[in-house]
Structure 1
Amino acid sequence: MGGALRSGGPPPGGPDTARTRPGTGLRPAGTPRSVGIVWALLGLNTLGSAGAKTIVPLPRSLIQLVTMGALVAAFALALAINLRLRIRASAFVLMLTLLLVPSVVSSAHLDVGFGALFRCTRLALFVGTLWLLSRWWDGSLTFVQSHIRMYFAVLVSVAAGLLISPGAALPELYGGRLVGALWPLTPPQIGQYAAVIIGLTVLLVLGRRIDRSSAALVIVPSLVLLAMTHTRTATLGLIVGLTLAIGSLILTSAAARRFFTWTVLIVVVAAVGFASALQAWFLRGQSQENFSSLTGRAKVWDALLAAPRTTAEQMFGWGLGDKSFGGLPIDNSWLAVYNEQGLIGVALVALIIIVLGGVALLRPPSLPRACAIFLISYVAMSSYTEAGLGDASPYLLHLALAASLLAVPAAATNLPKPKPTIPRRRVPRWAQDRK
């Protein structure tokens, strides 16, 4: 997996010319490998501590110690490799920093508990680490490779738990859906990780950054795990995200046109031949009433919106929490942000999506742009039935990856303007003034 993702070598002319043009996807020679370790630690922090029962029971305090320790280690390592605090201007990270304001204001009340302040500290460390990493955001595929490796390692642990104890990995409590048996992961989490690395790997294949055999080793098992989670949100997000991303490459890539054509044909044949099986998988044995209420989510949403709030609570929310209301999960990013960070938080999160989407549309067609479009559209789709856009989460990490892909290389923005030169006329010897 590590050797298959080709990022290309430095261009001729030595390390000083290793900066790349926008959209080439080549990794600059000055990017330290420890940046990938920092990214993996950020991913470990966002895995969470709540989920299914594992084969070996893990105390929640131990899991929280590991995840929070990973965030502290990520911040410390990022600071160590960027001691001069060189950062790049990033509208995405700036808006995340502004999101800290309603988070701290709403969490400062002691009646909400110290847990809210702890979550604010976690979000601040997460944003601070992204600021330190922004120095290496240059539109290359460096962070895409780290993203795929990180979540593929998580899926390997899920597959290992399935092989060791199928009963623990497919519990009746979750209706036989796949969960993490070694680390507490829920079916939506596993589905999300599988869908994201499938989409990114497909795009790397179309861009000829990875060979097909290595891609198959990632895509095929990930598809199997995604199917076993029965996660509709991740599946729809994968389909919509890939459609938009490949659509952005159709005019410039023959491989994208061929892939799109064959995919449409396969989907049509599968829809006709396996309609009943697909419907059964999509419904997951639920009744029509349960399906129409989004597995009970609509009831929680109605109760959340009907809850009385003061003007301050409407603007700033009730403080960072566990994304639940009345003991039940909210499972909607927009309502979770409204509940915890108020209307100001909702406006900032919406601005993040709009700005990233607008920048992606203005960029010329390229593989990094297609990967960014996939991630933005996937997160936008998932936000309707998943929470996490207002706190340190995999969804914010996906958007951070999209922001790094849309960044313009520093060399392209800081090139000195050539001074105009006035041609000098040669004066003949006989006309020169001799003293």
Structure 2
Amino acid sequence: MGGELRRGGPTEGSVTTETRPAAPPGLVGTVWGLLILNTLGSAGAKTIVPLPRSLIQLVTMGSLVTAFALALTLNPRLRVRSGALLSLLTLLLVSSVISSAHLEAGFGALFRCFRLALFVGTLWLLSRWWGGLALVRPHIRMYFAVLGSVAVGLAVSPGAALPGLYGGRLVGAVWPLTPPQIGQYAAVIIGLTVLLVLGRRTDRTSALVVIVPSLVLLALTHTRTATLGLLIGLALAIGSLVLTSPAARRLFTWTVPCAAVAAVVFSSALQTWFLRGQSKENFSNLTGRAKVWDALLAAPRTTGEQVFGVGLGDKSFGGLPIDNSWLAIYNEQGLVGIALVAALMLVLAGVALLRPPSLERACAIFLISYCAIASYTEAGLGDASPYLLHLALAASLLAAPAEAAPLAVPRGPRRRVPRWAEDVR
């Protein structure tokens, strides 16, 4: 009877356990989905039905404000769980405000700081429910819904979904999405779904419904970064489960030799897909990215710009996309920003390595490794983006589930209990 309340109520000085009120899982998932919607962006290919950029920005920014308001409603007492990721993101926000205050990047920099503040604030409010796989399913479902819109666009208007402007690569024809975005979303949900199957947290039929269409869309995007991130991330994640999961051992045993044979048999087709019709010179300079990187590094900067950057911008330099997270952070948030984001990645990786083998740890390893690989050719680690959401999901997977907090009952008059009642107890 030690954990139960005795008849007549608690006595003086007794301590009972109060379970923290849990938010409805659907509402927490809704907030997470709204954050994902906010990070879809407004740039991309032409859609079947022309959407004004102002309308797209209204939807994305409105989703962020709604997410923050709903999270605040779920957590009105502002009970949060501190962690390295959220603390470092807060410091990154502060440094971004300092760099943007000079208005070198215009008033848009301050607006982007406000957006980042709402983004980080919403993550703080949701941190109360971090722990376990609670956010993995909303993550998969929302991105699968986004990929569903891509598939609809492909079915309705193949010409708009595979435009010549992008070299015949798949784009979003319903919502403006670029091939790297689609490839990223497909690779992430494929990896997480495979791990859920290995951990027996979902059935194979449901998994195939997600994996097969996503693989097709990933192949149509011809996105090399997403493909390599998926393969390497899954190899590391499954490798972390080999010692404790028979299913992971079987998959690892069969996948490695089969992949080697397939690489030899289909080497010509794989090379053609990987090159995407580019010349070796164009491939060697990463489709022109290296030229932008060299120009960015060669540009003169003041000491303040080197330390704090020029303020949050659109991740471009000279009108061309930077397409490298570390150089984009250096340009906009300086060496301070690079140090904070590098510390964030290292802390997450270190915590993941120190955790005992588990499905949560494997999912976190996959997300961290994927973001690390993608950071070389994609920007976004220093601002509100899908990559920060992937890392936040990894942090939630590595967090210990919140335990019930002991609640001391207020002191009150102690009732005298008859001796016969004590004997019965």
Please give the TM-score of this superposition, normalised by the length of structure 2. 0.90
Unaligned runs of 5+ in 1: 1-12, 20-27, 417-435
The answer to whether the 8 Å contact 2:186/2:218 transfers is yes
Query: Aligned residue for 1:45?
Result: 38
CA offset at residue 333 of structure 1? 0.1
Query: Aligned residue for 2:10?
Result: none
Query: Aligned residue for 2:12?
Result: none
Larger mean Cα displacement after TM superposition, 106-115 or 80-89: 106-115
| Structure 1 counterpart of 2:85, from 89, 92, 96 | 92
Q: How many residues align?
A: 392
1:336 aligns with 2:328: yes
CA offset at residue 162 of structure 1? 0.2
| Structure 2 counterpart of 1:286, from 278, 281, 300 | 278
Query: Aligned residue for 2:201?
Result: 209
The answer to whether the 8 Å contact 2:35/2:119 transfers is yes
| Structure 2 counterpart of 1:102, from 95, 119, 131 | 95
CA offset at residue 30 of structure 1? 5.4
1:80 aligns with 2:73: yes
CA offset at residue 103 of structure 1? 0.7
CA offset at residue 263 of structure 1? 1.3
- Measured in 1, the distance between the counterparts of 2:23 and 2:71 equals 15
Deviations 1:179-218 (A, max 9, x none): 0000000000000000000000000000000001110000
1:242-257 matches, within 5 Å, as 242-257=234-249
CA offset at residue 110 of structure 1? 3.2
One-letter amino acid of the counterpart of residue 219, structure 2 = A
1:10-409 matches, within 5 Å, as 32-138=25-131, 140-409=132-401
Deviations 1:271-307 (A, max 9, x none): 1111100000000000000000000000000000000
Deviations 1:371-401 (A, max 9, x none): 0000000000000000000000000000000
Distance change in 2, residues 1:29/1:312 (3 Å): closer
The answer to whether the 8 Å contact 1:18/1:30 transfers is no
Q: CA RMSD in A?
A: 1.6
Distance change in 2, residues 1:112/1:341 (3 Å): same
The answer to whether the 8 Å contact 1:38/1:78 transfers is yes
Distance change in 2, residues 1:352/1:258 (3 Å): same
Distance change in 2, residues 1:55/1:30 (3 Å): closer
After TM superposition, where is structure 1 displaced by more than 6 Å over at least 4 residues in a row? 16-19
- Measured in 1, the distance between the counterparts of 2:401 and 2:156 equals 46
Larger mean Cα displacement after TM superposition, 82-91 or 180-189: 82-91
Please give the TM-score of this superposition, normalised by the length of structure 1. 0.88
- Measured in 2, the distance between the counterparts of 1:209 and 1:66 equals 33
Deviations 1:157-183 (A, max 9, x none): 000000000000000000000000000
- Measured in 1, the distance between the counterparts of 2:272 and 2:183 equals 18
The answer to whether the 8 Å contact 2:104/2:311 transfers is no
- Measured in 1, the distance between the counterparts of 2:104 and 2:261 equals 58
Higher RCO, Cα 8 Å, sep 6+? 2
